[in-house]
Structures are given as C-alpha cells and as structure tokens.
C-alpha cells in the first residue's frame, strides 16, 4: 500500500469526526443555546425565548442572498408581536464590520435582534455557508432548516412560521440545556 494511501486511511477517522461535528441541525434537534452577543455585549440565548417561535439566520454583509433575506425576515417580524416571534440575525463578518452595520441595521430593522459570531456559534450550528436559517418552535426544537435564500422561498418560510405560531406552547417542556 502506498504511503499516501496509508496516510489518507489514517486521517479518515479525523475527517469523519470533523464532518460529524459540522453536521447541520435537523428538524427535531435541540439547537445550541448561545446565539452570540449584541453590540452592547449582551448574550442572546434560545432558552430566553422559550414559548416564542424563534427564527435564527446566519448572514454576512458580502452575501447578496442574505441582503435579500434580512428585509423579508424583518417584515415578518414587524407583522408578528415580539411576544410570539423573534428573529435573531447572526452576523458572520469581522467585529468592526458588524459594529458599523449594526448602527445602520438597528435603524432599518429595529425589531430584529442582531448578534455577532466570530465562528463558535456557526460551528455549533454546523454552518458551512450562508444564509442558513433555522425555524425553532415554541418547544425549543428545530422545526425547519433552510440553506440559501431566494424570493421564491418566502411564501414557504412564512407558511412554516404561521404553522409554528398556530401550535400552542408546551408549558411542561423543559428548558434547553
């Protein structure tokens, strides 16, 4: 057996474990609790929003599709009470870019929670590209996952959010770890 093939076979378990660590969350999974910090350095957690439908989207300033998705999600947030629905937009740019964008976006999309992720949150969620959007039900479980964005997806996302809003909160559900 060649030396290169042997090295590849020896590295295979490492590659597989890395792939498993980067696995996307799927419907029914409990999402990681931490969603990054706001500009004011306040930590944002899914568990703090228990009983609400939570939309978590990962985006960056250079991503054209993200720039289309954010105003759509802000429009949905504007239509639904923050006691029922909360959109959290997690920025993947560098911190300086996030701080500059945050001033602008906070005025344009005041109902969204904007957080910054230097990488750990995206890694925990298994993000390999953006935009990635997770719809989390009132029970704290991932209900729907969307990778990418196009205007043709908006009706489906709105329908999924309406479906989640129509479901009652489960009072007996335990908080996320």
Q: Is 72 exposed, middle or buried (0-12, 13-18, 19+ CB in 10 A)?
A: middle
Query: For the domain that residue 147 is a member of, what is the CATH number?
Result: 3.40.30.10
- Answer yes or no: is 7 within a domain: no
Indicate the number of domains in the chain.
1
Pairing of strands 53-59, 85-91: parallel
Write the pLDDT tens digit of every residue in 36-70: 999 889 999 999 999 999 999 999 989 999 989 99
Mean pLDDT of 143-157: 94
- Answer yes or no: is 5 within a domain: no
Write the pLDDT tens digit of every residue in 97-133: 888 887 777 777 778 999 999 889 999 999 988 999 9
Mean pLDDT of 84-105: 87
Q: What is the pTM of this model?
A: 0.81
- Answer yes or no: is 92 within a domain: yes
pLDDT, averaged across the chain: 83
Range of the domain at 112: 25-166
- CA–CA separation, 152 vs 142, rounded Å? 22
């Amino acid at each position: 057996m060649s030396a290169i093939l042997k090295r590849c076979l020896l590295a295979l378990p490492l590659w597989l474990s890395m792939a498993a660590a980067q696995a996307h969350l799927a419907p029914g999974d409990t999402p990681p609790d931490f969603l990054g910090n706001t500009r004011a350095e306040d930590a944002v957690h899914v568990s703090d929003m228990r009983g609400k439908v939570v939309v978590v989207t990962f985006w960056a300033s250079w991503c054209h599709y993200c720039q289309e998705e954010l105003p759509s999600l802000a429009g949905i947030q504007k239509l639904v009470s923050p006691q029922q629905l909360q959109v959290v937009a997690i920025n993947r740019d560098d911190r300086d870019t996030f701080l500059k964008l945050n001033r602008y976006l906070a005025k344009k999309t005041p109902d969204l929670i904007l957080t910054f992720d230097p990488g750990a949150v995206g890694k925990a969620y298994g993000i390999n590209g953006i935009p990635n959007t997770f719809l989390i039900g009132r029970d704290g479980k991932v209900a729907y996952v969307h990778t990418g964005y196009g205007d043709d997806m908006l009706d489906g996302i709105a329908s999924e959010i309406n479906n989640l809003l129509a479901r009652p909160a489960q009072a007996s559900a335990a908080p996320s770890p």
